[in-house]
Structure 1
Amino acid sequence: MRIALFVTCVNDLLYPGTGRAVVRLLERLGHTVEFPLTQTCCGQMHGNSGYRAEAVPLVRNVVETFRDYPAVVAPSGSCVAMIRDAYPRLVVDDDRLAAAVAELRPRVYELSELLVDVLGVTDVGAWFPHPVTYHPTCHGLRMLRLGERPLRLLRAVRGLDLIELPDSTECCGFGGTFAVKNAAVSTAMLADKCRAVAGTGATYLAAADNSCLAHIGGGLARTSTAVHAVHYAEILASTPEEPL
C-alpha cells in the first residue's frame, strides 16, 4: 500500500525518531511510505487559539499535499483529530475547500487505526523486553476513540510486560496552550499523572502523542523518576536487530 507520512510539527522538530520509526515499521510490513516535502503545520495551535484566518491557509496546504494518497498516517492523535474534527468547522464558508477536506478526512489515520483497521495487523513483529505502561492521550481517547487499538498492538510485542496505568483516562494537564495559560492547574494535573506512572513500576511510559509525553516526561525527570517516555511507534519498530 502507498502511504504518506504526515510527521507533524512536534515530531519533525523535536522527535524525528518517531517519524523514522513509523517508516521502518510500515516498510517492514511491506508497504511503501512517502514523505511529501510540502507538508507543514496542520494549524492546530492557530485554530485552537482562535486564529482562524491564519489556520485556513495551513488547512489548504494539508489538503493539497495529501490529496493523491490512498492513506495518510500521522503518529499524533491530536493532529489527526484536528483534521477530522476542526477542519470542517474552519472551512465552512468555502465550499470548494470544504469538499476537499471532506474527501481527505476518511483517508487520514492515527497509526493504530491504520495498522488495526486498515492493514489488519496487531502483531507487527516487534520485540521490546521491558515493563511498559500506556497513557491514552485525550485526543486519542475522546475524539478519535482509539480504544483498545494501541493496547492490542503493545500486547503483541514480544517480551513486553504491559502494566495497567491507574486513572489512565485522566488528562496529563498539557492540552497545548492550556499548560501555558493555566500553569497552576496544569502542574497539579501533571503531578497526579506522574505519581500514577511512577506507581506502576514500569520503566517506560508509552503514548500516541509526543506532546503529552514531553509534558509527562519533563515532570518525571524533575522528580528523578526512572521512567522513560517514548512514543509507542518506536516500541513497535523495535526488533532484536534494530532495538530502540
Structure 2
Amino acid sequence: MRLLADRDATIAAQAGTITEQARLIERLVGQVEQLADRVCELDRRVGKDSTNSSWPSSSDSPYTKAIDAGGIWPAFTGVLMRDGYHGYTHLTQALHAWCGAHTLRDLRSIQDGDPAGQVWADAIATTLLDAHHAACDARDARQSALANMVAPGWIETQNAVDYLRSNAGLETEDERRAWMLDNARVPATRMGRPEEIASMIAYLCSAQAGYVTGNWIEVDGGHHRSAF
C-alpha cells in the first residue's frame, strides 16, 4: 500500500509539473506569435541557377513564385530579416533588415574558397564580430555604443578595373557602365568612387552621426534594394 501511495504521489507531482510546463509553453507560444507579427527571418533553401552567377529575381521566377505561393510573405508588414537574395526585394510592404549570421556565413565561404587571395573577407568578419562584442559589452555596462558597418559595392579601384578587364573583357568606362546595369544589376549604372566610401565613413565618425548605431549601411549604387 505504501508503494502504491508513493507512486500516486509521484504521478500527482509529475502531473502538476506537466501542467505548469504546459501553461508556460502556452504563454511563450503567445509571445512568439506576437513577435512573429513584427520580426521574421527568411532563410532560402534553393539552388543557384547554374547558367547565371546571380540569383533570379524577376516576378515570373520559380523562386519568387515559391516565396509568394503561401500568401504569407506578400502580406507581411513587419521586419523581414534576410540575406542578399534578390527574390525578396518585391516584398515591399515589409521593412527589410540584413541578417548578420548570413553575412558571416557568406564571408566564411569566400575566405575558405581562396584563403590567400580573399583575406579581406576574414578581416571584415573579424571586424563585424569585434563590433558586435563591443556593443554587447557596452549594453551590459549600460554605456552607449556606436557600431556601424559600411558595405561597399563595386568600387572603381585599379584592382576592380583590372578584374573586369581580365574576366569580362571590359576596357572602357562605357563598357563598365553597361555591365554594371545589365550584369551586376546596379541601378546607378556605374562603379562607386573611393571618396564616396570615405565620405560615408567620415560622416559616421563625426558628431553629426552620434545617434546612428547598429546599422549595416550599403554604399553600392542600389545593388541591394532593401527599401525600394
TM-score tier after normalising by the smaller chain length: under 0.3
TM-score (norm 1): 0.24
Structure ranking higher on relative contact order (CA contacts 8 Å, 6+ apart): 1
What TM-score results when the alignment is normalised by the length of structure 2? 0.25
Q: Name the larger-Rg structure.
A: 2
